[in-house]
Amino acid sequence: MVNSEQRRRQLAREKYERQQQNRVEAQARARRRNSILGASLAVVVLAGGGLWAGGVFKSDKKATTANAAPAQSTPGSSASAAAPVSVKGCTAPAPGTPNGKQWKTEPAMSVDTNAKYTATLETSCGTVTLQLDPSKAPHTVNSFAFLSGENYFDHVKCHRLTTQGIYVLQCGDPTGSGSGGPGYQFADENLTGATYPAGTVAMANAGPGTNGSQFFLVYKDTQLPPSYTPFGKITGGLDVLNNIAAGGVQGGTGDGAPNANVVLNKVTTVKS
């Protein structure tokens, strides 16, 4: 027979156990919520960049390619409506607009995987040269060479700059919004052990297998997960990128449209 005191203690114990269970469940919900939030922030970093890795460099989920990347950014769109300000070393872009061509499928392979390729980015802030390595990223280099041969990158604005945590300039979206691409996507490459020191050129994306046209140029050693295909090295113009970075981001943040009006006047890729 349970007396009133024993019953009171039993009820108190059951109440305590319920409170403990509720606390455990609340903590679990918070961990799940923080995990989801962290993942979404990472996407934002490199998407639009490409999203902060965040910034990882991702491009917008709607895009075919930061972040940021650092996503395709998007990582979280980094595009800004504010007008760019004058930055020393930058001039007015060459007249013209992106052609915005679209394709349904990835271009047929035509690069020589035993060769090197040199890409020249003539920008409104100076020239940047890249050495591309098709032996490690054949589909990526093939796509980049194809798009540059189609004048796809010409007159395209570099829409995203990150200056805190990750240090990249993201380009390749003809819409300038962080959500544009060539209409096709292709698989990731060269991710095993991938790192992103200063001088790296890599693809922005919106998740595995979503590479398109958006890429990012690393101007300072950057810590990112090995999720963005590295496909070459910057061989000239790192000073140009650092000058753009020194100009800052519109609105004074660390991730957004650069103050410098950086436009790819002309992009060419040739077999070295």
pLDDT, tens digit (0-9, with 9 covering 90-100), for 198-256: 999 999 999 999 999 999 999 999 999 999 999 999 999 999 999 999 999 999 999 99
Rounded distance between C-alpha atoms, residue 175 and residue 173, angstroms: 5
Q: How many domains would you assign to the chain?
A: 1
Mean pLDDT along residues 134-138: 98
Please check whether residue 181 lies inside any domain of the structure.
yes
Partner residues linked to 266 by β-bridges:
122
CA distances from 95 to 35, 112, 242 (A): 46, 33, 25
Please check whether residue 25 lies inside any domain of the structure.
no
Q: Any idea what the CATH number is for the domain that residue 183 is in?
A: 2.40.100.10
DSSP 3-state of 235: strand
Residue 19 pLDDT: 65
Q: Each residue of 33-65: pLDDT tens digit?
A: 443 333 333 333 344 333 433 334 555 444 333
How many of the other CB atoms lie within 10 Å of CB of 22?
Answer: 10
Please check whether residue 109 lies inside any domain of the structure.
yes
Question: Residue 161: which H helix or E strand, with range?
Answer: strand 160-162
Q: Each residue of 89-105: pLDDT tens digit?
A: 999 999 999 999 999 99
Partner residues linked to 264 by β-bridges:
123, 156
Rounded distance between C-alpha atoms, residue 8 and residue 5, angstroms: 5
Average pLDDT of the chain is 82
Nearest to 190 by CA among 227, 236, 233, 158: 227
Residue 73 pLDDT: 44
Residue 200 pLDDT: 98
* Cα Rg, the chain, nearest whole Å: 23
Greater model confidence, 86 or 184? 184
Please check whether residue 23 lies inside any domain of the structure.
no
Partner residues linked to 216 by β-bridges:
170, 202
Percent of the chain residues topping a pLDDT of 70: 71
Q: Is 94 exposed, middle or buried (0-12, 13-18, 19+ CB in 10 A)?
A: middle
Dihedral pair phi/psi, residue 126, rounded to 5° = 130, 170
Decide if pLDDT at 115 tops 50: yes
Decide if pLDDT at 23 tops 70: no
Please check whether residue 3 lies inside any domain of the structure.
no
Residue 128 pLDDT: 98
Greater model confidence, 139 or 26? 139
Residue 17 pLDDT: 66
CA distances from 272 to 60, 91, 118, 121, 146 (A): 33, 29, 6, 15, 16
Percent of the chain residues topping a pLDDT of 90: 67
Question: Residue 28: which H helix or E strand, with range?
Answer: helix 4-45
Q: Say if residues 49 and 74 touch (Cβ distance below 8 Å).
A: yes
Please check whether residue 35 lies inside any domain of the structure.
no
Residue for token pair 């000239």: 236
Give first-to-last CA distance, the chain, whole Å: 93
Which of left, alpha, beta for 31 (phi over 0: left; psi -120 to 50: alpha)?
alpha
Mean pLDDT along residues 13-27: 65
Please check whether residue 85 lies inside any domain of the structure.
yes
Rounded distance between C-alpha atoms, residue 118 and residue 50, angstroms: 25
pTM of the model: 0.76
Range of the domain at 219: 43-271
Rounded distance between C-alpha atoms, residue 212 and residue 182, angstroms: 6
Mean pLDDT along residues 124-147: 98
Q: Is 40 exposed, middle or buried (0-12, 13-18, 19+ CB in 10 A)?
A: middle
Residues in the chain: 272
Residue 52 pLDDT: 39
Please check whether residue 10 lies inside any domain of the structure.
no
Residue 85 pLDDT: 74
Q: Say if residues 218 and 201 touch (Cβ distance below 8 Å).
A: yes
